[in-house]
Amino acid sequence: MDKYAPRQWLPHEKPSLPGSPSTPLHTPAKRLAYGVVGLLVAITGGLGNALVTANLVFLQGALGATTA
């Protein structure tokens, strides 16, 4: 398949509005992989933010910084 050829969308894969993303079919394994990666990114981002927020007072004292 030529990667530069225009994509032939199936009727249920087409975007509902011009400019909106399409919904291509994925295998169940790929859907699970996308879900796991999304969950990992969400947990990692939340944990990093929570660690800084919870330890902000101790970080300020160790670095000699203030909230202002």
User: Does residue 58 lie within any of the structural domains?
Assistant: yes
pLDDT of 20 reads 87
User: Does residue 52 lie within any of the structural domains?
Assistant: yes
Q: The whole model's pTM is what? A: 0.58
63-67 average pLDDT score = 73
Query: Please, are residues 23 and 13 in contact by the beta-carbon 8 Å criterion?
Result: yes
Structurally, how many domains does the chain consist of? 1
Domain span holding position 46? 28-63
19-47 average pLDDT score = 92
pLDDT of 68 reads 67
User: Does residue 59 lie within any of the structural domains?
Assistant: yes
User: Does residue 10 lie within any of the structural domains?
Assistant: no
User: Does residue 39 lie within any of the structural domains?
Assistant: yes
pLDDT of 1 reads 62
Q: For residue 25, what are the CA distances in angstroms to 15, 21, 40, 49, 51?
A: 13, 13, 23, 34, 38
User: Does residue 18 lie within any of the structural domains?
Assistant: no
